[in-house]
């Protein structure tokens, strides 16, 4: 449905995007993650034809956004970070106006408006002006705006920004429901939201894609995606570190300060995980065999995979060249 290839975007001497490429399949819900200034909003503005790239291309169902912008835009429903609402308009009047702009046939408008009003939970505020609505209801109207043309693709920029927890759940449910019949790409700072809602995530840092896959694939591919805590008796920390550091999967060994009774050494062993579910690639087996070969007594072996939040911090903690300081 969406094919983004080698996008770059320069604002003067500042490079906002630097070779961004990814695809989104039909019926897929994709989360676009990244810290402030990563390039998420710029990517979405290029995807929706709001601005043009410096180089690279975006195709919507094989329609090039730059060469055939109107054809591409007809397939997209777009909610920018701040919904473009008119303070004095009533909700129903605004949706009628949007339906006209989106060229919804006259005979279908009333039915289409009623459907998105119900879908987005707007019936109680349909005859109120926007200036009287809460932030949560304004976001719902923005979603209704994006949905009213019945697009194949929804592009949502920070749809839950500034909402309270209850409002976030409500908007998330609307997105999840829309994802049953449409391709959805949305950006968010809430990592649990992406993990629970998305089929796949793309992480952008400083204008570059640094991760692309399911949440489990991204966590498994992280440099320190796996940590194993081992407790041993009959050994010293230096002896254990020397043996374990020689294993291919081990990227670091660090002692734990508080050692329980019956244990001489307690260590956290960081590993490059081979796979999220492949037990054959789990380095805990190699660690166990290495301990066994030394005749040490194993008192504890506990494996944990890092969270998506840990992975996000790891992938976005270090600056890269050609980086933009602010998302433009």
pLDDT of 157? 92
On the 0-12 / 13-18 / 19+ scale of CB atoms within 10 A, 288 is middle
Q: In this structure, what token pair is assigned to residue 72?
A: 């591409």
Any idea what the CATH number is for the domain that residue 157 is in? 3.40.50.300
What is the H or E stretch that residue 25 is in? none
Q: Are 186 and 229 part of one and the same domain?
A: no
Task: Indicate the range of 1-15, 60-74, 193-207, 280-294 predicted with least confidence.
Answer: 280-294
Task: Provide the domain count of the chain.
Answer: 2
Average pLDDT over residues 77-84: 87
Hey, which bits of 63-111 come out as E strands?
63-64, 76-79
Q: What's the average model confidence in pLDDT over 57-86?
A: 91
Distance CA 80, CA 139 (A): 10
Q: Are residues 248 and 208 in the same domain?
A: no
Residue at 319 is within a domain = no
Q: Are residues 71 and 7 in the same domain?
A: yes
- pLDDT digits over 103-136, tens only? 999 999 999 999 999 989 999 999 999 999 998 8
CB atoms within 10 A of CB 189: 15
Tell me, what's the pLDDT at 271? 80
Tell which residue, 156, 89, 87, 88, has the closest CA to residue 120. 156
Q: What is the pLDDT of residues 23-55, one digit of tens each?
A: 999 889 999 999 888 999 999 999 999 999 999
**Residue 233 lies in domain:** 223-305
pLDDT, one tens digit per residue, over 256-271 is: 888 888 888 999 888 8
Residues 218, 213: Cα–Cα separation, whole Å: 6
Residue 322 has pLDDT above 70, yes or no: no
For residue 327, pLDDT beyond 60: no
316: in domain: no
Portion of the chain with pLDDT greater than 70, in percent: 91
**pLDDT: is 314 or 176 the higher one?**
176
Indicate whether 114 and 68 sit together in one domain.
Answer: yes
Percent of the chain with pLDDT over 90: 52
Both 243 and 188 in a single domain? no
Average the pLDDT over 141-150 and give the result.
93
Q: State the CATH number of the domain containing residue 257.
A: 3.30.70.260
Q: Calculate the average pLDDT of the chain.
A: 86
pLDDT at 83 (0 to 100): 82
pLDDT band at 276 (very low <50, low <70, confident <90, very high): very low
For residues 11 and 155, state if they share a domain.
yes
- State residue 34 phi and psi, 5-degree precision: 165, 155
Q: Give me the pLDDT at residue 252, please.
A: 85
Q: Flag the least confident range among 42-56, 156-170, 181-195, 219-233.
A: 219-233
258 within a domain of the structure (yes/no) = yes
Answer whether residue 327 is part of any domain: no
Q: Are residues 131 and 184 in the same domain?
A: yes
Provide the pairing of β-strand 183-187 with 29-33.
parallel
Give pTM, 2 decimals.
0.74
Arithmetic mean of pLDDT, 155-178: 86
- Classify 90 in phi/psi space as left (phi over 0), alpha (psi -120 to 50) or beta: beta
Q: Quick one: 9 and 138 in the same domain?
A: yes
Tell me, yes or no, whether 64 and 126 share the same domain.
yes
Whether 127 and 74 map to the same domain: the answer is yes
| Confidence at residue 224, expressed as pLDDT on a 0 to 100 scale | 56
């Amino acid at each position: 449905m969406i094919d983004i290839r080698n996008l770059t975007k320069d604002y003067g001497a500042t490079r906002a995007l630097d070779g961004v490429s990814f695809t989104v399949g039909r019926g897929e819900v994709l989360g676009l993650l990244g810290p402030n200034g990563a390039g998420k909003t710029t990517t979405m503005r290029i995807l929706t034809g709001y601005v043009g790239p410096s180089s690279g291309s975006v195709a919507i169902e094989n329609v090039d956004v730059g060469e055939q912008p109107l054809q591409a835009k007809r397939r997209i429903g777009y909610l920018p970070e701040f919904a473009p609402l008119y303070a004095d308009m009533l909700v129903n009047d605004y949706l009628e106006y949007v339906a006209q702009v989106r060229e919804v046939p006259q005979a279908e408008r009333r039915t289409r408006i009623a459907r998105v009003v119900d879908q987005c939970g707007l019936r109680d505020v349909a005859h109120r002006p926007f200036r009287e609505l809460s932030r949560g209801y304004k976001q719902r109207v923005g979603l209704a705006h994006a949905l009213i043309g019945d697009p194949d693709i929804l592009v949502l920029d920070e749809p839950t920004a500034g909402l309270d927890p209850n409002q976030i759940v409500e908007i998330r449910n609307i997105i999840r429901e829309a994802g049953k019949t449409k391709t959805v790409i949305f950006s968010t700072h809430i990592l649990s939201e992406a993990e629970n809602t998305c089929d796949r995530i793309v992480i952008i840092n400083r204008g570059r894609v640094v991760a692309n896959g399911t949440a489990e694939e991204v966590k498994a591919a992280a440099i320190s995606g796996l940590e194993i805590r081992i407790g041993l008796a009959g050994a010293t920390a230096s002896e254990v570190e020397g043996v374990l550091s020689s294993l291919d999967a081990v990227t670091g060994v660090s002692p734990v300060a508080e050692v329980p009774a019956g244990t001489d050494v307690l260590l956290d062993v960081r590993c490059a995980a081979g796979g999220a579910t492949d037990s054959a690639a789990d380095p805990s087996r190699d660690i166990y065999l290495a301990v066994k070969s030394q005749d040490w007594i194993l008192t504890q072996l506990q494996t944990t995979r890092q969270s998506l939040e840990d992975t996000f911090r790891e992938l976005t903690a270090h600056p890269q060249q050609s980086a933009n300081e602010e998302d433009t």
